[in-house]
Amino acid sequence: MQASRARLFKEYKEVQREKAADPDIQLACDDSNIFKWTALIKGPSETPFEGGVFQLAFSVPEQYPLQPPQVRFLTKIFHPNVHFKTGEICLDILKNAWSPAWTLQSVCRAIIALMAHPEPDSPLNCDSGNLLRSGDIRGYQSMARMYTRLAAMSKKG
């Protein structure tokens, strides 16, 4: 408990210090609970998610950093490796390939990379995975783009 708190505090300071370093990620800690974080990540360019801003929710276990944080999309996204209803993410580093060498910030970077490089062979969203596996790139991209517009872009903009 104490160890995880100390580590998260270090990450917090690092995030404050490096704020400008990665303009695609805005990571923030809950005011009253250092085990709850949220992030806003920009959809990577040249993907159907470009122009969208996606919100992630982090729930950090007491055994952190020996155990991975739980992360899910709060913003609806059409992607083979993200559960369409729950926002759960299928990513090895959030499961058995986790190590304390990862940080909340680098997890965000890994999720952005996953958005650009979906793994249709281990789908959480089968509809999305099937479009890619059947080679219907256009179908996948238009569905993904539609949901990006509906859910991840500001209505005013």
Which residues bind to another protein, rule: CB under 8 A? Answer: 3, 6-7, 10-11, 14, 65-66, 70, 83, 86, 88, 90, 92, 95-103, 124
90 tagged catalytic:
yes
| Residue with smaller CB distance to another protein, 2 or 154 | 2
| Residue with smaller CB distance to another protein, 35 or 102 | 102
Catalytic residue among 29, 90, 108, 126: 90
> Which residue, among 38, 71, 40, 72, has the nearest Cα to 54 in the 3D structure?
40
- Smallest gap from residue 50 Cβ to another protein (A): 27
Q: How many whole angstroms separate alpha carbon 59 and alpha carbon 8?
A: 12
Q: Two tokens at 128?
A: 């999305």
| Residue with smaller CB distance to another protein, 101 or 157 | 101
Identity of the residue numbered 90: C
In the DSSP assignment, the letter for residue 121 is T
Helix (H) or strand (E) holding 70: strand 70-73
- Smallest gap from residue 99 Cβ to another protein (A): 4
- Smallest gap from residue 74 Cβ to another protein (A): 17
Q: What is the DSSP code string of 74-119?
A: SS----TTB-TTT-BB--GGGTTT--TT--HHHHHHHHHHHHHS--
- Smallest gap from residue 34 Cβ to another protein (A): 14
Q: Tell me whether strands 70-73 and 53-59 are parallel, antiparallel or unpaired.
A: antiparallel
Q: Catalytic residue numbers?
A: 90
